[in-house]
Structure 1
Amino acid sequence: MAMMPGSLAFDEFGRPFLILKDQEKQKRLTGNDAIKSHILAAKSVAQTLRSSLGPRGLDKMMISADGDVTITNDGATILKMMDVEHQIAKLMVELSQSQDNEIGDGTTGVVVLAGALLEQAEILLDKGIHPIRIADGFEMAAQRCMEYLESDLSMEFPIEEREMLIKAAETTLSSKIVSKCNRQMAEIAVDAVLSVADLKTRDVNFELIKVEGKTGGRIEDTLMVKGVIIDKDFSHSQMPKVLKDVKIAILTCPFEPPKPKTKHKLDVTSVEDYKELHKYEQEKFIEMVQKVKEAGATLAICQWGFDDEANHLLLHHNLPAVRWVGGPEIELIAIATGGRIVPRFEELTEAKLGKAGTVRELTFGTAKERMLVIEDCVNSKAVTILVRGGNKMIVEEVKRSLHDALCVVRNFIRDSRVVYGGGSTEIACSIKIQQEADKISSLEQYAFRGFAEALEAIPMALAENSGLAPIQNLTAVKAKQVQDKNTKLGMDCMGKGTFDMKEQNVLEPLHSKKQQIMLASQLVKMILKIDDVRSPVDKYGM
């Protein structure tokens, strides 16, 4: 509810107070009316995302205030870019964001599930059930659901088998723009994570994976480099384009003569003074270059720029250099090459140099665009993925897709248990919760049945988005699951002729599924407990 219209006035002591206008016309929502208003807002957000769920889900075009266009079907990105006013709708945005931060995937599914739970809650409210009983019932059902996932539906996943990880990454990428080169992208994601993963401690350092984008070329031209790619080129066009067995000086000090740090000014009044100043500058430049050469460096990477004179001297002394390299890139180069960042020329020693097998320049198309590749580093764990695409929008969407795939592979390494996707897990949980509802003698059994109904919203949406008849397919798969006692049956979204998700290799991390159910039920419980909407003025009793 918006702030009530009013004006600010001051009493004789200078203390401000509000004079409210049209107070008698103001409305305040309370009780079930407030809860239904919240449910409506949350349902509208979920409905927006519903059509983006699954491998055949549709994309959304988001246009920002300054005209930037983003096309994506990633739930977290869509909600982040939506101009949401309603407070409950903002909670839905935060819900998808927390799923993205924790898991990296399943951001659309969690919002669709929360929307379906609220839809069921509305039906139960109309039956006269108190919102607290509904919320408690949903929480109990979510708890049973997670226990069932852990005990019966999950299976151990062999993370040592690269092929299985690739299949899991392919499941994530099947709904993205990169689905036409699914296998290649899945291999890149798996190889990148395995390069930086510590399988003993089950830890993955995402800091060592860098994703760079370059427009032009096809998505298939995307490549992974075991090293670092920086969007710079050698400072002089005549410097060699390929360097072998490189020793790198990583500098954060500028290649220029020291300047007076105070507010003094230097007046040059004669030709002799100017020549003397020029000679001093030349000596300082040569001294700097010599210090780098004496340390044994064969390449200088500098965070700051240097002028043409310094550039010429570097070329003259056969010292290739790169300038204007940003802070994060400098840090990544230091980690990858085992070098130290040097803030002063005086501190540069051979021990602080980074080492790399090859440094080469990549060129793209006819636009004279270049990038540097630093490969075969001492710390070979650092990897860079160079994403290519026809335009900026495609490159950004491929980056988002790869981020999801990287997160999923990381989740498998952290917790190697999996469940089957394609809506099979939700259908199995729905059947189980329905059975549990029959054993409950209290009012919560209605909430259990509502929860089971809500779980079916995911396979329904998958079938709908794939152009299948949703109700017929859902009832057929549900009946077959009960009849065959096979919990691996889900929606055949890709038209492969089988409902068995094991045959289709559709895998999802158990942790992701549990997180979705837990976050959705927690948010629904919070919304059902809000029965009064007050503006900032109302809380003072005005």
Structure 2
Amino acid sequence: MSMVYDEYGRPFIILKEQQSKNRVKGIEATKSNILAARSISSVLRTSLGPKGLDKLLVSPDGDVTITNDGATILQEIQVDSQVAKLMVELSASQDDEIGDGTTGVVVLAGALLEQADHLLRKGIHPIRIAEGFERAAGVAMKRLEEISEKMDINSNDHEALVTTAMTTLSSKIVQQNKRMMADIAVKAVLNVADLERNDVNFERIRMEGKTGGSLEETTIVNGLVIDKEISHPQMAKVIENAKMCILTCPFEPPKPKTKHKLEISSKEAYEKLYQNEQQYFRDMVQKVKDSGANLVICQWGFDDEANHLLLQNQLPAVRWVGGVEMEHIAMATGGRIVPRFEDISASKLGTAGRVREISFGNTSERMLVIEDCASSSAVTVLVRGGSKMLVEEAKRSLHDAMCVVRNLIRDNRVVYGGGAAELACSLAVSEYADTVTGVDQYAIKAFAEALEDIPLALAENSGLSPIEEVAAAKARQVKENSHLIGLGLDIEANEEGFHSADMKEHGVFETLCGKQQQLQLAAQVVKMILKIDDVISMGSYQ
């Protein structure tokens, strides 16, 4: 620090290395990072479980989103802390890989960081804590495989898939219609699944939403639903045995890409120009008719003159179809996207059993349904709801359910929900901690306590007494561990007054791969946060 004076003789102080004074290093930096990450976990904790609360998110543009999906919440909120962004990426990773459990993985990571903070206060080094957590995660992963059970997903009309999808939907806004929604999710996935290779092509599943109805009106269509309508009200609204010409070129004369000037000085010249333009339109329509097409799907628009000419030639058309929809139509119908009219041929047409236009209520809103597609088993889920926010949340819920069904087709092993799997892992990790000597024992026991935070949050969000309920369930698991590994928390109380129940009897299942992914990702991110002892802005360190 030094004292200097300005031109008026007034003193002021210069602080050297001012940026370094704002930096926190060592254990204090680790504790600061833990606090930032736990703030994200505390936001999502109340949204966990079947009784979890929703969040209302308002964007800077005024758009409103209501959801309890962890990945969606973290995508919408603005996070300034770089360490807190790791928690956002953690939830996104779980969503990309599994599709479900995005809230649970953040809550688990937050519980691990809380336990790590207690250990840091005892003087244990962050590296020893991270190593202990890694060892404990390995024990928990092994325990999950031991308690997992294989489900016959093909028996009883795929009832196992429906039951697992219902577990996912129990915490969503569509829980009152979860049986119907689970059936839709299972049918959609099975229509595009290859059960021999245990693979599901999600690109063949589309979800469209339309406000104005109720959730009970949500349907699945064996084909495609496009949010477009026939371009002219007098064109045919139902086309049987449709042969579609899929165009990415507009129905209009070509326009020069450079500056041009056209002078018309007489009536004859104007009529000649008009006739040439009409002839160009007629040639385009004739090329489509000659190929045998009875429906035109155009990516670009065309004016009323071209629309009227298509009507005269009894050629229904759809305009302004998006590029993604064009690709889906081409894949589903076996057609080829045609960029120029000169390339149109019968071999490039897409075929479908029927194309029809549907309307909703007494409004002018219409959509196009393409059924019985020739090339693939594409399906579309048409979601209805009373508001746009409800429709969007229902679409997110169905996507999570479909991801769980896909995961069960890939790996048919399941564990039991309601906190049963976490309690079983917690008991196994505690037993393993008793066999370990040294400082690592504290970290391993802390991991076991962090696993109990999931059932604690489930009980707390259900309005129950968290410690009493979890203690009762844990005691019953220890007492009857040989045959009651699926004991977790339920809404209804048992004869002892507690809410512990066998999740196997209640049909509460979760995929093994989803639970293992939660443990693995949470342990990795916590290890990364514990090993950060300084945050340096690029270019500021000297």
State the TM-score, normalizing by the size of structure 1. Answer: 0.94
CA gap 1:451/1:337 in 2 versus in 1, 3 angstroms: same
Alignment of 1:424-439 (within 5 A): 424-439=420-435
Q: Contact conserved, 1:235 with 1:311, CA < 8 A, in 2? A: yes
2:525 is aligned to 523
Q: Distance in 2 between matches of 1:494 and 1:274?
A: 83
Q: Deviations over 1:243-266 (max 9, x none)?
A: 111111111111112333443322
Using a 3 Å threshold, how does the CA distance of structure 1 residues 252 and 20 change in structure 2: closer, same or farther?
A: farther
Distance of 2:402 and 2:81 partners within structure 1: 33
Q: Return the match for 2:88 from 75, 89, 93.
A: 93
Question: Distance in 1 between the 2:41 and 2:24 partners?
Answer: 23
The structure 2 residue matched to 1:473, chosen from 454, 469, 489, is 469
Partner residue of 2:40 out of 45, 48, 64: 45
Q: Over the residues paired in the alignment, what is the CA RMSD in angstroms?
A: 1.6
**In the alignment, which of 363, 368, 372 is matched to residue 372 of structure 1?**
368
Q: Which residue of 2 is the match for residue 3 of structure 1?
A: none
Indicate if the aligned counterparts of 2:19 and 2:540 stay in contact, CA closer than 8 A: no
Q: CA–CA distance in 1 between the matches of 2:186 and 2:458?
A: 26
Which of 458, 461, 464 is matched with 2:460 structurally? 464
Q: Which SS does the other structure have where 2:434 is aligned?
A: helix
Q: 1:259 to 1:82 in 2, by over 3 A?
A: closer
Deviation readout 1:349-397 (Å, 9 max, x if unpaired): 1111111111111101222000000001112411111111111111111
SS at match of 2:230: coil
**Matched ranges for 1:351-366 at <5 A:** 351-366=347-362
Query: Counterpart amino acid of 1:301?
Result: I
Identify the residue that residue 485 of structure 2 maps to in structure 1.
487
Counterparts of 2:473 and 2:195, CA distance in 1: 38
**Alpha carbons of 1:275 and 1:71: their partners in 2 closer, same or farther (altered >3 Å)?**
same
| Structure 2 counterpart of 1:60 | 55
Match of 1:455 among 451, 457, 475: 451
> 2:323 aligned with 1:311, yes or no?
no
Is 1:172 the counterpart of 2:174? The answer is no
Residue 536 of structure 2 is aligned to residue 534 of structure 1: yes
Instruction: Check whether the contact 1:232–1:325 (CA below 8 A) recurs between aligned residues.
Output: yes
Q: Residues 213-292 of structure 1 correspond to what in structure 2 (within 5 A)?
A: 213-292=209-288
Query: Quick check: 2:164–2:405 contact (8 Å CA) kept in 1?
Result: yes
- How far the C-alpha of 1:538 sits from its partner, in A, is 4.4
1:39 Cα deviation from its structure 2 partner? 1.2
Q: Give the aligned partner of residue 153 of structure 2.
A: 159
What is the one-letter code of the residue matched to 1:377?
A: C
Shift of 1:442: 2.4
Of 423-432 and 281-290, more deviation after overlay is shown by 281-290
Structure 1: runs of 5+ lacking an equivalent: 1-18
SS of aligned partner of 2:488: coil
- Partners of 1:55 and 1:493 within 8 A in 2: no
Contact 2:26–2:533, Cα closer than 8 Å, also in 1: yes
Mapped to 1, the partners of 2:449 and 2:410 lie a distance apart of 32
2:132 corresponds in structure 1 to 137
Deviations 1:112-143 (A, max 9, x none): 00010011111111222111111100000001
Asked whether the equivalents of residues 422 and 493 of structure 1 are also in contact (C-alpha less than 8 Å), the reply is no
The 1-side partners of 2:493 and 2:406 are apart by 29
The answer to whether 1:385 aligns with 2:381 is yes
TM-superposed CA distance for 1:508, in Å, is 0.8
TM-score (norm 2): 0.94
Task: Return the letter of the residue paired with 1:487.
Answer: I
- Report the Cα offset of residue 38 of structure 1: 1.1
Matched with 1:337 is: 333
- Is the 8 Å Cα contact of residues 199 and 413 (structure 1) preserved in structure 2? yes
Q: Counterpart amino acid of 1:113?
A: L
8 Å CA contact retained: 2:246, 2:338: yes
2:8 match: none
Contiguous gaps of at least 5 residues in structure 2: 1-13
Q: Among all aligned residue pairs of Structure 1 and Structure 2, give the percentage whose two residues are the same amino acid.
A: 63
- Count residues in correspondence: 521
